Structure 1
Amino acid sequence: MTRWLTEAVPRGRIAAFRTLIYLFVAADLVVFTPWVRTRASVPGELYQPLLIGRLLPLPTPTPTVVAVIFWGLLLAALLAATGRAPRLLGWTVCALYLEWMIIAMSYGKVDHDRFGLLVALAVLPTAGRARHGDTTRTEAGGWALRVTQIAVICTYFLAAWAKLRFGGLDWLTGSVLARAIIRRGTDLADLIAQVPYLLIVAQFGIVAFELLSPVVFLLPARWRVAMVGFFYSFHVVTIATITISFAPHLAAMTSFLPLERVRPLVWARRLAGRGPVDAEPTSTPPDPARLDDRARVGDQAPAVGRPLGP
């Protein structure tokens, strides 16, 4: 079990995942959750913090508190995306984003698509330093990615458990998707809704997909990536029909992908024609055995200009 949890991965994958996650946090502040800033104008008596907010001595949101968290988190996330000071900046982003989410979710609605992202922010500081393109492998980084993957799959599995726990079998045969389409459906959703019993079949399929999601850990690497691609396609359909994005969850799910192969800066230099960029930076030490072999071959080879005969 320990071996599976700490399966080593290239440091370049950690560097790419770290950059992506911290850039997403910055984008989340200004694109997906800018409405959290409006909590500063809500009367303080309406603030009913989550359990963690009740256990920790966190302040009631005020204009000053919300502004400090917003600008501090935005700056820290952008700096952390560079890979510098991974522990100091990583823990700072984790703490500030957690408080940002406590403020967001303490007024009656809690989104479950943030779980994987919060876990990623909590474990990334433990992965240590990593450079883009570094092919050396790290168990600490592998643990950080594995824990994030488990959180992503728990989001699916526990969502199905909650559906069956609170909705029972009626969730499968009820009008859940029909109500969602009425509230926020698209033209595509309206077309799908006209097919008899298709929404009921879709509800059975959603629960089956969520309950079977842990199977991804049992698949070989190639099939695992294919299944993660299916996960993404599921969310594409969700966005296209009922306009729910699950963007934080999708960002955390990149922990399954070989992100070290995604090198936008290298591709940009190649397109700009700024010299050879095929060589990947690596800190892998040379193999002593190979060096010895090369030395022996060099000793046996005739020197240039030396006569071969007696």
Structure 2
Amino acid sequence: MTGVGRWLTEAVPRGRVAAFRTLVYLFVAADLVIFTPWVRTRADVPGELYQPLLVGRLLPLPTPTPLLVHTIFWVLLALALLAATGRAPRALGWPVFLLYLEWMIIAMSYGKVDHDRFGLLVALAVLPTAGAARHGDRTRTEAGGWALRVTQIAVVCTYFLAAWAKLRFGGLEWMTGSVLARAILRRGTDLADLIAGVPYLLIVAQFGIMAFELGSPVVFLLRERWRHLTIGFFYSFHLVTMATITISFAPHLVAMTSFLPLERVRPLHWLRQTLAAPPAPTPSGPTERPAPRPPVQADDGDQDQVVPGRPVVP
């Protein structure tokens, strides 16, 4: 196997695959009810307004109807929750991927396309190939390593291709323009208003965003410790983005956990330990001494009464 092949299939602990799989499928369920419930409103939109993406035209996929949209929602929600258990990774994983892909095509075929779901879609496409995996399992798997590596590549491509699109459509003027200023006017927070008041800071930020996105592939060249620190910087970038212009990139952030040692996160193991832990000791305080035992007395018959401190006279 070539060096690239070994890099693509670098073995990882099965517990990491299991944790990543659970996180991804739980997010799909949450996405349906928290982040993209508005997709269900597409069921009531006239069919002539549906302009499918290229993949929707090539397959071709049907025009959304109330029956189609609501069926996808409920079936996908149930299958995603089942897939999060880790059972039947192929039998459940492939339907989840296909249904979520159709859900996203419906969502993005009415004029607006979000690029923060590319990494998540790739993760859903490759997770069924990772095979069985249990939480906490330290044995290593190349199939699981390939699934995580392909997801990592998709995450980095999201950054790099975003920079390419900025340069392609906006040119070098994108970095000196008013992109962030317009974003703050549209959806900025109080923190963003404070930042916007600093002269030239938004221009500096635009140069920084371009450098960050173009340099994102460097993460693959770093040693593990520095790679984790770099991923932490990626997360902090999105934290600032959320705090200033309220864009969360939640699907992308879930896909980016493919870089992290998730096998160390064992919630079920911690729960079992907590339930099996001995009860906490009672608070310490003054203890009561036992009451003194009454003196032993002789029978009222032939023996005299026993008096404490005095010998018994026969």
Query: Normalised by the size of structure 2, how large is the TM-score?
Result: 0.87
Percent identity reads 84
Runs (4 or more) in structure 1 with deviation over 4 Å come to none
For residues 30-69 of structure 1, the aligned pairs below 5 Å read 30-69=33-72
5+ residue gaps in structure 1?
Answer: 276-310
In structure 1, the residue corresponding to 2:95 is in which secondary structure? helix
In structure 2, the residue corresponding to 1:113 is in which secondary structure? coil
Cα distance in structure 2, aligned partners of 1:77 and 1:131: 17
Aligned to 1:163: 166
For residues 1-310 of structure 1, the aligned pairs below 5 Å read 1-274=4-277
Q: Output the aligned Cα RMSD.
A: 0.8
Cα distance in structure 1, aligned partners of 2:185 and 2:60: 42
Letter of the aligned partner of 1:110 in structure 2?
V
Cα distance in structure 1, aligned partners of 2:145 and 2:79: 24
The one-character-per-residue Cα deviations of 1:180-204 (angstroms, maximum 9, x if unpaired) are: 0000000000000000000000000
- Give the count of matched residue pairs: 275
Greater C-alpha Rg: 2
Cα distance in structure 2, aligned partners of 1:222 and 1:121: 27
Cα distance in structure 2, aligned partners of 1:57 and 1:218: 40
The one-character-per-residue Cα deviations of 1:128-176 (angstroms, maximum 9, x if unpaired) are: 0000011100000000000000000000000000001100011100000
- Per-residue deviation, 1:269: 2.5
The one-character-per-residue Cα deviations of 1:48-102 (angstroms, maximum 9, x if unpaired) are: 1011101113111111000110001000100000001100100010000000000
Aligned to 2:288: none
Distance 1:41 1:161, change over 3 A: same
- Per-residue deviation, 1:274: 4.3
In structure 1, the residue corresponding to 2:22 is in which secondary structure? helix
5+ residue gaps in structure 2?
Answer: 279-314
Cα distance in structure 2, aligned partners of 1:173 and 1:68: 47
Cα distance in structure 2, aligned partners of 1:131 and 1:274: 23
- Per-residue deviation, 1:264: 1.2
Which is further off, 50-59 or 27-36? 50-59
In structure 2, the residue corresponding to 1:112 is in which secondary structure? coil
Which is further off, 259-268 or 164-173? 259-268
Letter of the aligned partner of 1:249 in structure 2?
H
Letter of the aligned partner of 1:91 in structure 2?
W
Structure in which a larger fraction of residues adopt helix: 1
Cα distance in structure 2, aligned partners of 1:138 and 1:274: 33
